[in-house]
């Protein structure tokens, strides 16, 4: 909302009296009688109610003085808690009034441009004060705050429920300032990186106002000094108001909704035209600023999906304190209608670059124990990060050795990286979710064939493919010579590339787990999740396997899958020795 400026008038009535005293004597006024704590608190509460109601009226009229009215209401409610901390009734009503007025203050201040990372501006133009903004236990420095978002972001169907904690303070979102290109903060940050924060407006203990200021009213007197704390609700559990320790309010879902609101959503069109408008290049993103000592968990989505598919699972993991203290989520986004081997190569490159840049000396054990979690085709991408290709993948497309193929010098490294690779030594665990290790029958049926024909081929890989095939007649197998295979082609059970990947062995130092969906029974393929047969989702050598009653797109949302992932991550801490670090 936009606040217009309309001056509110407060009437100050001064009454003076002259008293005559006998010569040689000075009569002192009697000492002021101090009210009882309960009466004093009730007076503050009455003021808080009046100021809040008045501020609401001003806000409805878009009056800029609403911010100052809410500020005065916050102070009065805060003083009520100070005055009588032993009364549960006072604490309850004062806390509710404080939260209501602080929410109104932040929204009105943001709408009028008076809330910035540098401070909260209070008072009239001719006598404005700046309330300093201070971060408390945030994973970033105060100078890295890009904006403070007081308005609650819209709901999103991709998140099934909101996790909130009642208490004192108002949950808001802090957006992190994007780093410069060439820095970790610039190269691996998502389009919008948001953090959960609870705003608390702290005042000095009451009693600093003089009688005239109290009599004049909240908008006429100088605003009381205060500090706006932006507290990390994950690390801070309570607020200190004198002897009182009320719980700190929290909303752990709010920043996820804020990030989703700023994220372009993939759909069928973006799958069929993966290199159309928007940010379509594969990229690794840090959902939160990196903190040394936390183990990255890399989430890789499947076909016709995007990184937003993980937010419901991440929303549940946020309620688990161990995840916050010991892990951090990384997301890999790629155009799912693009080139499969190329996307896997970019993920391999980005993971190695991130680990090298974050820990160039190799002294952080957390960055040597990454966990990959892949849903559907994302599981195949995860597998390609830990296996040695040898010549198996190349032999599935070509009849001649790589050294005998004529490739333009500018493309030779690109082709080599896509088909020849070694395990990334820092990946120690993979969780496969509904992964079609043996493909899916849907890829070879009508709907799969139609999608394969309709998908727009990626320009650069297609150009390289056509040029290399032209320079080497008869060197490639007919299916590859004809066209660059789409992701749908690769998921056919008989696809040569899929069979080659299936035959690659996961090394013994990588622990694997499977979570498989079963929501349907096919006469041809047996039980499946409506897309991937249970038999295709199974892979030998896994440490554990869990079958959940869920369809393909719901496997990673199912409560049993969430609980299983927590169990696996707990096991990861124990087996890597990280559980004993803290």
pLDDT tens for 17-63 read: 333 333 344 444 454 455 789 999 999 999 999 999 999 999 999 99
CA quadruple 385, 390, 396, 402: dihedral sign: positive
Q: What pLDDT is recorded for position 365?
A: 96
Among residues 328, 354, 308, 366, the alpha carbon closest in space to that of 139 is found at 328
In 3D space, the residue among 364, 344, 538 whose CA is nearest the CA of residue 424 turns out to be 344
Tell me what pLDDT residue 64 has: 87
* pLDDT value at residue 11: 29
Query: In angstroms, rounded to a whole number, what is the distance separating the alpha carbons of residues 67 and 59?
Result: 8
Q: Tell me the C-alpha to C-alpha distance, in Å, between residue 582 and each of 235, 425, 523, 573, 578.
A: 15, 24, 52, 11, 8
**Model pLDDT, residue 510:** 98
By the 8 A CB rule, do 442 and 522 touch?
no
> Which of 488, 541, 553, 536 shows the shortest CA–CA distance to 513?
541
Length of the chain: 582
CA–CA dist 484, 113 (Å, integer): 53
In the structure encoding, which two tokens stand for residue 457, read together?
Answer: 């081929």
Residue among 308, 323, 301 nearest 382 (CA): 301
Question: Would you give per-residue pLDDT tens digits along the chain (582 residues)?
Answer: 444 433 333 322 322 333 333 334 444 445 445 578 999 999 999 999 999 999 999 999 999 899 999 999 999 999 999 999 999 999 999 999 999 999 999 999 999 999 999 999 998 878 889 999 999 999 999 999 999 999 999 999 999 999 999 999 999 999 999 999 889 999 999 989 999 999 999 998 775 454 444 444 554 556 778 999 999 999 999 998 888 999 999 999 999 999 999 887 655 444 444 444 444 678 999 999 999 999 999 999 998 788 999 999 999 999 999 999 999 999 999 887 678 899 999 999 999 999 999 999 999 999 999 999 999 999 999 999 999 999 999 999 999 999 999 999 999 999 999 999 999 999 999 999 999 999 987 654 544 444 444 455 667 888 999 999 999 999 999 999 998 887 878 888 999 999 999 999 999 999 999 999 999 887 777 899 999 999 999 999 999 999 999 999 999 999 999 999 999 999 999 999 865 554
In angstroms, the Cα distances linking 576 to 330, 370, 567 are: 19, 10, 14
Query: Which residues have a Cβ under 8 Å from the Cβ of 77 and sit 6 or more positions away?
Result: 44, 45, 48, 94, 95, 97, 98, 101
Report the distance separating Cα 277 and Cα 366, nearest Å: 37
Q: How far is CA 111 from CA 51, 67, 230, in A?
A: 20, 10, 19
Check residue 34 and give its pLDDT: 55
Model pLDDT, residue 280: 64
pLDDT at 444: 47
Q: Are 537 and 436 in contact (CB under 8 A)?
A: yes
Run of H or E residues at 372? strand 370-375
Return the closest-CA partner of residue 566 out of 317, 382, 345, 227. 317
* pTM of the full structure: 0.88
């Amino acid at each position: 909302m936009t606040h217009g400026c309309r001056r509110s008038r407060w009437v100050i009535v001064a009454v003076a009296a002259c008293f005559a005293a006998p010569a040689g004597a000075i009569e002192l006024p009697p000492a002021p009688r101090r009210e009882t704590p309960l009466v004093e608190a009730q007076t503050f509460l009455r003021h808080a109610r009046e100021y809040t109601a008045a501020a609401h009226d001003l806000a409805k009229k878009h009056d800029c003085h609403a911010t100052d009215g809410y500020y005065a209401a916050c102070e009065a409610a805060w003083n009520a808690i100070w005055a009588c901390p032993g009364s549960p009734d006072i604490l309850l009503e004062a806390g509710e009034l404080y939260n209501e007025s602080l929410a109104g203050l932040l929204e009105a201040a943001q709408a009028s441009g008076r809330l910035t990372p540098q401070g909260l501006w209070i008072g009239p133009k001719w006598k404005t004060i700046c309330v300093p903004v201070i971060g408390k236990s945030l994973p970033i420095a105060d100078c890295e705050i890009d904006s403070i978002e007081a308005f609650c972001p819209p709901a999103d169907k991709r998140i099934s429920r909101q996790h909130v904690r009642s208490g004192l303070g108002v949950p808001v979102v802090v957006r992190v300032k994007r780093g410069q290109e060439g820095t970790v903060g610039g190269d691996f940050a998502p389009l919008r990186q948001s953090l959960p924060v609870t705003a608390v407006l702290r005042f000095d203990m009451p009693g600093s106002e003089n009688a005239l200021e109290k009599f004049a009213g909240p908008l006429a007197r100088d605003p009381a000094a205060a500090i706006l704390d932006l507290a990390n609700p994950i690390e801070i559990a309570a607020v200190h108001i004198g002897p009182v320790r009320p719980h700190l309010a929290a909303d752990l879902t709010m920043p996820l909704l804020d990030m989703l609101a700023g994220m372009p959503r993939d759909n069928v069109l973006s799958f069929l035209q993966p290199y159309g408008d928007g940010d379509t290049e594969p990229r690794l993103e840090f959902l939160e600023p990196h903190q040394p000592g936390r183990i990255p968990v890399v989430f890789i989505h499947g076909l016709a999906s995007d990184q937003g598919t993980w937010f419901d699972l991440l929303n549940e993991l946020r309620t688990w304190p161990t995840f916050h203290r010991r892990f951090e989520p990384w997301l890999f986004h790629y155009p799912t209608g693009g080139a499969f081997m190329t996307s896997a190569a970019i993920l391999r490159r980005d993971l190695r670059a991130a680990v090298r840049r974050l820990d160039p000396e190799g002294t952080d054990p957390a960055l040597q124990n990454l966990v990959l979690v892949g849903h559907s085709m994302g599981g195949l991408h995860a597998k390609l990060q830990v296996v040695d290709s040898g010549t198996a993948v190349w032999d599935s497309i070509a009849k001649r050795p790589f050294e005998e193929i004529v490739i333009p010098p500018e493309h030779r490294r690109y082709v080599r990286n896509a088909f020849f690779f070694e395990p990334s030594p820092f990946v120690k665990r993979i969780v496969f979710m509904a992964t079609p290790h043996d493909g899916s029958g849907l890829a070879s049926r009508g709907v799969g064939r139609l999608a394969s024909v309709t998908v727009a081929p990626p320009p650069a890989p297609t150009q390289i493919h056509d040029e290399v095939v032209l320079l080497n007649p008869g060197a490639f197998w007919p299916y590859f010579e004809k066209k660059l295979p789409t992701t749908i082609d690769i998921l056919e059970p008989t696809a040569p590339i899929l069979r080659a990947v299936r035959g690659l062995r996961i090394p013994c130092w990588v622990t694997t787990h499977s979570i498989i969906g079963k929501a349907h029974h096919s006469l041809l393929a047996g039980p499946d999740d409506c897309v991937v047969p249970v038999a295709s989702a199974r892979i030998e050598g896994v440490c554990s396997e869990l079958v959940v009653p869920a369809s393909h797109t719901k496997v990673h949302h199912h409560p049993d899958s969430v609980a299983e992932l927590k169990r696996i991550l707990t096991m990861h801490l124990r087996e890597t020795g990280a559980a004993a670090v803290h």
